[in-house]
Each structure stands twice: as structure tokens, then as C-alpha cells.
């Protein structure tokens, strides 16, 4: 897939105010500071489409970006650590679950995980939540440029073993690096193929 256009459409915290058309949506989510904004900018080939920040918890709204006038890339707030008040955290955590449970246009979620770390309880719990609610998702391992190839394989293998303790099979996954554009074509091809399948069923 070649990204020709990527435009910001709307930010809000109310699922009912999200775009009402039936354009397919792909939602990106992960723990704060996992490299989500950098990944979105890399995928869309736009330097500042998503605002990057050294301060975790920067994204606190549901952000819709229209890609090639064909599908929405949805940038969701990070879960877990964020330097915001408890009240604000509760509020945006609730609208995250509202989004996933009520958004019929959602085709797939992408759960971002920092490849350098051991499997984190909060990530595993979030994936379990998606599974229980029958929400399709893929895992995106980020920051692969920080590890050597053998270490990447080892870390992914460790993660898969952990997942198989509770999952019948390992969810679909991608290994990426925003700085080196690793995995870009694979993620975009997955979205392109999925959109083609949706179009064929219409």
C-alpha cells in the first residue's frame, strides 16, 4: 500500500461523536511511551501526523486520521502509566473500553508492545480483554532497532511462550522499528488485504 493522503479528521472523548460513516477503522493502542506516535508517523510517512512527546500519556483523546480516503487510522490513549490525574485517567480509560465495545466500524486493533521488555501484565490483561470481547487484534512489537537480530527472535519467542499459557494460538504479530521503517510494508499490506476482503463481502 502506498500512502498518498493522511489527514486529521477529529479528536474527542465521546464515542458517539466519532465519524458516522462506515469506513473501516484500525485502532492503535499500547502502554504510555511505547512509541505509538512515532509508529503512526512512520506508517503514514508523515513526520508530525501524530504528536510525539518525551512525556508519557500525551495522547488523551480518540484521534481519527483518514488514510487515502479509504480507511481510518485511530490513535487511542495509552493505558497504564501516564502523568495525568486519577480522575482524568479513569475518564479516558472508560472511553477506551466504550470505543472497543461500541464502535462497529472497528476492523482490527493493533496492540503495541516494546520488544525490549519482558511480557508486561498490563499488556497481557489488555489482550485478554480484547479476546474476551471478541475484538480482532494484532500485536506490534516496537523499537526493534534497539536489539540485535538474535535478541529480537529470542524476545519474540519468550513473548509467544507467555501468550500460549492462556491463548490457543499466538495472535498475529509484526516486528517494527519507527526509525528504520522496519515492518512498515507488512503492517500496511495486512491493512490493505483486510480492506480488500471487506470490500469483496459488500
Digits of tens for pLDDT over the chain (202 positions)?
999 999 999 998 889 999 999 999 999 999 888 999 999 999 999 887 876 544 444 457 899 999 999 999 999 988 764 455 566 556 557 778 889 999 999 999 999 999 999 999 989 989 999 999 999 999 999 999 999 999 999 999 999 999 999 999 999 999 999 999 999 999 999 999 999 999 898 7
Q: Could you tell me which residues come within 8 angstroms of residue 112 by beta carbon, excluding any fewer than 6 positions away?
A: 28, 29, 30, 31, 34, 35, 36, 39, 139, 140, 142
Instruction: List the CATH number of the domain containing 156.
Output: 3.40.50.300
The pair phi, psi for residue 197, each rounded to 5°, is -65, -40
**Within a domain: 133:** yes
pTM here is 0.90
Structurally, the chain folds into a number of domains equal to 1
Residue 72, domain extent: 6-201
Crossing angle for the helix pair 121-132 and 149-163, nearest 10 degrees? Answer: 50
Q: What are the residues facing 177 on neighbouring strands? A: 182
**Within a domain: 1:** no
**Within a domain: 181:** yes
40/54 Cα distance (integer angstroms): 16
Q: Any idea how long the chain is? A: 202
**Within a domain: 23:** yes
**Within a domain: 49:** yes
Amino acid at each position: 500500500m502506498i500512502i498518498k493522503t493522511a489527514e486529521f479528521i477529529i479528536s474527542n472523548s465521546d464515542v458517539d461523536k466519532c465519524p458516522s460513516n462506515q469506513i473501516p477503522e484500525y485502532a492503535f493502542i499500547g502502554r504510555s511511551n511505547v512509541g505509538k506516535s512515532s509508529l503512526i508517523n512512520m506508517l503514514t510517512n508523515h513526520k508530525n501526523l501524530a504528536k510525539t512527546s518525551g512525556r508519557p500519556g500525551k495522547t488523551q483523546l480518540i484521534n481519527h486520521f483518514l488514510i487515502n480516503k479509504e480507511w481510518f487510522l485511530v490513535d487511542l490513549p495509552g493505558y497504564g502509566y501516564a502523568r495525568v490525574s486519577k480522575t482524568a485517567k479513569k475518564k479516558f480509560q472508560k472511553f477506551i473500553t466504550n470505543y472497543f465495545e461500541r464502535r462497529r466500524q472497528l476492523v482490527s486493533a493493533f496492540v503495541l508492545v516494546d520488544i525490549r521488555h519482558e511480557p508486561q501484565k498490563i499488556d497481557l490483561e489488555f489482550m485478554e480483554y480484547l479476546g474476551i470481547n471478541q475484538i480482532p487484534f494484532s500485536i506490534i512489537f516496537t523499537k526493534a532497532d534497539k536489539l540485535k537480530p538474535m535478541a529480537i527472535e529470542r524476545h519474540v519467542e519468550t513473548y509467544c511462550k507467555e501468550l500460549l499459557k492462556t491463548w490457543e494460538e499466538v495472535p498475529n504479530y509484526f516486528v517494527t522499528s519507527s526509525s528504520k521503517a522496519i515492518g512498515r510494508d507488512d503492517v500496511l499490506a495486512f491493512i490493505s488485504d483486510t480492506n480488500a476482503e471487506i470490500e469483496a463481502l459488500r
